[in-house]
A and B are shown apart, each in its own frame.
Chain A
């Protein structure tokens, strides 16, 4: 017997309210209120984490000292994304970068902007551009733009 295929559309949309933790709160408040990027340091391996971590995964100990870092960094990797994925609400193409903030031991994932995609290079120096309206989220940094001069 020939049976017509029936499809059922669904969309799961569930509100969550995630506590970002004391460590995360401190980081996001510094972005929001002072346009400052803070990291913290593992007392054993001395790695500096941005975003900050409550514990060092490698040493398995609580992190210690907080450090105010620069708002500049270096592009460690980047990609120019040519498709809409329904999450990043930005005009195409979207440029993502792994940005090593000066003084940090690893990279931060963020947008790269104010630059033509073909001009982006590994090793490029960039500076955080803060959003006009800031609400205590990672998007309080609008993007990273090439350092001028």
Chain B
């Protein structure tokens, strides 16, 4: 069967209020990915952009940046959702037989809009939107259900925040680089109970890009590819009230599909590093369970054990994760890029020694409605 591999990656530094336009961000990430792959734009057969009209404040936001993505005379299509789904669409196009190489580029400027109002707009306009829920208040509802059903505590959530912010210190692309303590998290400002300031990811700007190739397309590139070994994606109920908020069954389905494809039997042992979408601290514990790294209801035990720390059995989010920079839409693609750097051994001081197999995860929709999982390896 034909395979697809990642042959180039590029990211901007993630910051709040970046002094670049959307197009400049897209151009920077795209040209960095091309330079990383050792090629010019002529090596690219087609392009996938990732953007969202509400975040950009215009309709057909993809069209405004297509020149900056190098789409001149090329086939281009768009994903409106997290970048992990852009990578998925890019992989499908690469393997479709129509194109040998694909550039996937995602951008956002969270600082230019209003996160609460934009995420409020993802809710049903008839029954929910006027009540004012947003990404953070609904995450808080999920966090509480999770605590109630599993016995996880606010301190367990704080442990995630301490770990990931600590890791972020070593990531030159991270926005928040901070050594913090459990006490700092517990005493930080209340946002939406039980979530406090340091349980929440920041508002970020930035862009990220990857280049995918079939085996046939490889001769155009200088670097050895990092292969996509397994992939899975699944979505749960839109209506929060009719979803089990304490059990991410869509992630379970996505992960199991990816593991089967990649021949992963015991993810905790078989994987060397995981980059997952921790938009809020508690999510990491919930995603441990969905990814099968911890038994159901036991996510808190895994963080308590230290197994997911930099020196643990399976380091999770050595980049600092989404808690250290949350460019919405870009963040899932950034996870895949970080996973790629790990497998290549190019992750600098955040490198997990000898990492061969890595997992990257992205989400879409309120409280992780949809999940995308990639398992990649050398």
Q: Is B132 a contact partner of A94 (Cβ separation < 8 A)? A: yes
Is B172 an interface residue, CB under 8 A from the partner?
Answer: no
Interface residues of A in 52-105 (CB under 8 A from B): 57-58, 76-83, 85-90, 94, 96, 98, 100, 105
Is A129 an interface residue, CB under 8 A from the partner?
Answer: no
Taken together as a complex, chains A and B put the C-alpha atoms of A53 and B223 apart, in Å, by 52
Q: Which of A80, A100, A105 contacts B193 (CB 8 A)?
A: A80
Q: Is B192 a contact partner of A138 (Cβ separation < 8 A)? A: no
Is B145 an interface residue, CB under 8 A from the partner?
Answer: yes
- Do A87 and B192 form a contact, CB below 8 Å, given A12-B57, A20-B126, A79-B140? no
Q: Is B191 a contact partner of A96 (Cβ separation < 8 A)? A: no
Q: Is A77 a contact partner of B137 (Cβ separation < 8 A)? A: no
Q: Is A79 a contact partner of B193 (Cβ separation < 8 A)? A: yes
Query: Which of B239-247, B289-297, B326-334 makes up part of the contact surface?
Result: B239-247
Q: Is A18 a contact partner of B125 (Cβ separation < 8 A)? A: yes
Taken together as a complex, chains A and B put the C-alpha atoms of A20 and B125 apart, in Å, by 9
Is B19 an interface residue, CB under 8 A from the partner?
Answer: yes
Is B304 an interface residue, CB under 8 A from the partner?
Answer: no
Please tell me the size bucket of the interface on B: 35 or more
- Shortest C-beta distance, A57 to chain B (Å), equals 6
Q: Is B131 a contact partner of A81 (Cβ separation < 8 A)? A: no
- Shortest C-beta distance, A91 to chain B (Å), equals 12
Q: Which of B19, B130, B140, B191 contacts A87 (CB 8 A)?
A: B130
Is B96 an interface residue, CB under 8 A from the partner?
Answer: no
Q: Chain A: which residue is nearest B237 at the CB level?
A: A57
Q: Is B126 a contact partner of A18 (Cβ separation < 8 A)? A: yes
Is A5 an interface residue, CB under 8 A from the partner?
Answer: yes
Taken together as a complex, chains A and B put the C-alpha atoms of A79 and B133 apart, in Å, by 11
Is A109 an interface residue, CB under 8 A from the partner?
Answer: yes
Taken together as a complex, chains A and B put the C-alpha atoms of A90 and B194 apart, in Å, by 20
Q: Chain B: which residue is nearest A80 at the CB level?
A: B193
- Do A86 and B130 form a contact, CB below 8 Å, given A5-B19, A107-B241? no
- Do A109 and B130 form a contact, CB below 8 Å, given A82-B192, A98-B240, A122-B148? no
Q: Is A77 a contact partner of B245 (Cβ separation < 8 A)? A: yes
Is A146 an interface residue, CB under 8 A from the partner?
Answer: no
Is B179 an interface residue, CB under 8 A from the partner?
Answer: no
Q: Chain B: which residue is nearest A111 at the CB level?
A: B131
Count chain A CB atoms within 10 A of each CB in B57, B127, B145 and give the residue with the most.
Answer: B127
Taken together as a complex, chains A and B put the C-alpha atoms of A110 and B127 apart, in Å, by 9
Q: Which of A58, A109, A122 contacts B241 (CB 8 A)?
A: A109
Taken together as a complex, chains A and B put the C-alpha atoms of A98 and B142 apart, in Å, by 10
Is A149 an interface residue, CB under 8 A from the partner?
Answer: no
Taken together as a complex, chains A and B put the C-alpha atoms of A79 and B141 apart, in Å, by 6
Give every chain A residue within 8 A of B193 (Cβ-Cβ): 79-82, 117
Contact with A along B191-207 (1 / 0, CB 8 A): 11111000000000000
Give every chain B residue within 8 A of A82 (Cβ-Cβ): 189-193
Is B252 an interface residue, CB under 8 A from the partner?
Answer: no
- Shortest C-beta distance, B275 to chain A (Å), equals 28
- Shortest C-beta distance, A34 to chain B (Å), equals 18
Is B60 an interface residue, CB under 8 A from the partner?
Answer: no
- Do A81 and B137 form a contact, CB below 8 Å, given A87-B116, A94-B132, A110-B131? yes
Is B117 an interface residue, CB under 8 A from the partner?
Answer: yes
Q: Is A24 a contact partner of B126 (Cβ separation < 8 A)? A: yes
Q: Is A85 a contact partner of B148 (Cβ separation < 8 A)? A: no
- Shortest C-beta distance, B157 to chain A (Å), equals 14
Give every chain B residue within 8 A of A100 (Cβ-Cβ): 241
Q: Chain B: which residue is nearest A18 at the CB level?
A: B125
Q: Chain A: which residue is nearest B239 at the CB level?
A: A106
Q: Chain B: which residue is nearest A21 at the CB level?
A: B126
Q: Is A109 a contact partner of B134 (Cβ separation < 8 A)? A: no
18 contacts between A and B (CB under 8 A): A51-B126, A76-B241, A77-B142, A77-B145, A79-B194, A80-B192, A83-B192, A85-B120, A85-B137, A87-B132, A88-B131, A89-B132, A94-B132, A96-B131, A109-B133, A109-B141, A117-B193, A122-B148
Which 9 pairs of residues, A with B, have the shortest CB-CB distance?
A: A88-B132, A107-B241, A79-B140, A106-B242, A87-B132, A85-B116, A80-B193, A106-B241, A77-B141
Chain A residues in contact with chain B, CB under 8 A?
5, 10, 12, 16, 18, 20, 24, 28, 47, 49, 51, 57-58, 76-83, 85-90, 94, 96, 98, 100, 105-111, 117, 122, 137-139
- Given contacts A81-B192, A138-B130, 11 further A-B pairs with CB under 8 A are A77-B148, A77-B245, A78-B141, A80-B192, A86-B116, A87-B132, A87-B134, A88-B131, A88-B132, A107-B241, A122-B148
